[in-house]
Amino acid sequence: MSTQPQPEHTAPPPEPGQSKVRFWMVCALILALALPLQLSVDAGLFPDVLNPYYLHLLTIIGMNIILVASLNLLNGYLGEFALGHAGFMAVGAYTAALLATKALPSAAALPPVLGTCIILVVTLGGAMLMAAGVGYLIGLVTFKTVGDYLAIITLGFNMIIVNAIQNMDFVGGPRGFTGIPKNTNFLAVAVCALLTLGLLRNLIQSSFGRVWVSIRENAIAAELMGVSIARAKNWAFTIAAAFAGLAGGLWAQNQQFITPRSFDYIKTTEILVMLYLGGMASLSGSILGVVAYTLLMELLRNLLSTFAPQLAEWRMLISPLILIIIMLTRQTGLLGNREWRWLRPRQGA
């Protein structure tokens, strides 16, 4: 079949030549840079150049990439408008915090590197499972609706999750959860972010992921082709929730202090701003959006606090303005529906 000339309308768009750079090469490069970076910052080498602040910034970028890429699964590829991502992040963060403080021994009692790895795997695995479970249950009821109502219901669940945590005394209630051990470092975040990107990339290009795009393009046609819409949507929701939980688990063990308030509507909107800045249905866009947004906000913070300290807080107005301007001028975002070549699958493979 592959030698037969294809009719024009079914042929894939012509590829402008395959890039030599493959996904695993990028991963290897990032890890090869991350490992010595982490080690030298931990050892306190070159404090002028390798400021821990930069590493912190990179850590935040990594966690945000996980959040935004997983939300892109729902809002970009599946084409729904989910507004409750921070809720799943909260579930993951609190699960990881509980596991790390109450269930597991401290990292000091275990062998140095291996111990931290085990703790991270257990806490993050627990966070992902818990968030996926909550996501699955919420998805069961959520996907009886579409469009505006889906947006409202997901936002409603986000608020209910935050409200429920506020009423739980054993996790600190509204005062927040303190004393979480610092197990997450930049290296762990980099590994998790790369794993997330690799997994999502393969998932989206698989037949499983094509089903989501088909639902976005025409749900009725997809249904006629034998797609179980409810099940496919719920899978997407569960997977996205699991990755939000992963980001939450990393976040909790990086910040060492979490409050329910930090996972409300405002956080969800921040994730949305990065997602729409980068572009829908594009993992490259998610990466670019997070990096551009985070660097812009930090740059503004530094510039304003140097030149006009009294205006430092005014950068809070920038993020909603970016969102409005993107929507008015370029609704597809920076890289909507386009992918960097190294993130595309190999043709014909």
Partner 1 sequence: MDTIIQQLFNAAQLGAVYALIALGYSMVYGIIRLINFAHGDIFMLGGFIGLLLTTRFGWMPFYLLLPLAMLLTALVGVTIERVAYRRLRNAQRMSVVITTLGVGIFLENLVRLTVGPETRQIPARLPSAPVVWLQQHLGAFVTWDKLLIILISLALMAILWLVVNRTLIGTAMRAVADNKDAVPLMGVNLNLVIAVTFAIGSALAAAGGIFYGQAYSIDPYMGIDLGWKAFIAAVIGGIGSIEGAVLGSFLLAGVEVITVAYLSSNLKNGIAFGLLILLLLVWPWGIMGKPTLKKV
The residues of the shown chain that bind partner 1, judged by CB under 8 A, are 81, 141, 144-145, 147-149, 151-153, 156-157, 159-160, 163-164, 166-167, 220, 265-266, 269, 272-273, 276, 313-314, 316-317, 319-321, 323-324, 327-328, 331
Q: CA 156, CA 162: separation in Å to the nearest integer?
A: 10
Joined together, the tokens standing for residue 100 give 């790390």
In the bound state with partner 1, the residue whose beta carbon lies nearer, of 119 and 162, is 162
In the bound state with partner 1, the residue whose beta carbon lies nearer, of 24 and 149, is 149
Residue in this structure with the two tokens 């970016």, named with its chain if needed:
322
Residue whose C-alpha is closest to residue 171's, from 245, 98, 263: 98
Task: Quote the least distance from Cβ 200 to partner 1, whole Å.
Answer: 21
Q: CA 2, CA 96: separation in Å to the nearest integer?
A: 49
Q: CA 245, CA 254: separation in Å to the nearest integer?
A: 14
In the bound state with partner 1, the residue whose beta carbon lies nearer, of 2 and 167, is 167
Q: Assign residue 328 a region: left if phi > 0, alpha if psi is -120 to 50, beta otherwise? A: alpha
Task: Quote the least distance from Cβ 152 to partner 1, whole Å.
Answer: 7
Task: Quote the least distance from Cβ 144 to partner 1, whole Å.
Answer: 6
Task: Quote the least distance from Cβ 279 to partner 1, whole Å.
Answer: 13
Task: Quote the least distance from Cβ 209 to partner 1, whole Å.
Answer: 21
Length of the chain in terms of residues written? 349
In the bound state with partner 1, the residue whose beta carbon lies nearer, of 43 and 324, is 324
In the bound state with partner 1, the residue whose beta carbon lies nearer, of 101 and 269, is 269
Task: Quote the least distance from Cβ 294 to partner 1, whole Å.
Answer: 18
Q: CA 344, CA 125: separation in Å to the nearest integer?
A: 28
Query: Using alpha carbons only, what angle is made at residue 159 by residues 250 and 289, rounded to the nearest 5 degrees?
Result: 50
Residue in this structure with the two tokens 């290897």, named with its chain if needed:
28
Contact 2, 324 (CB under 8 A): no
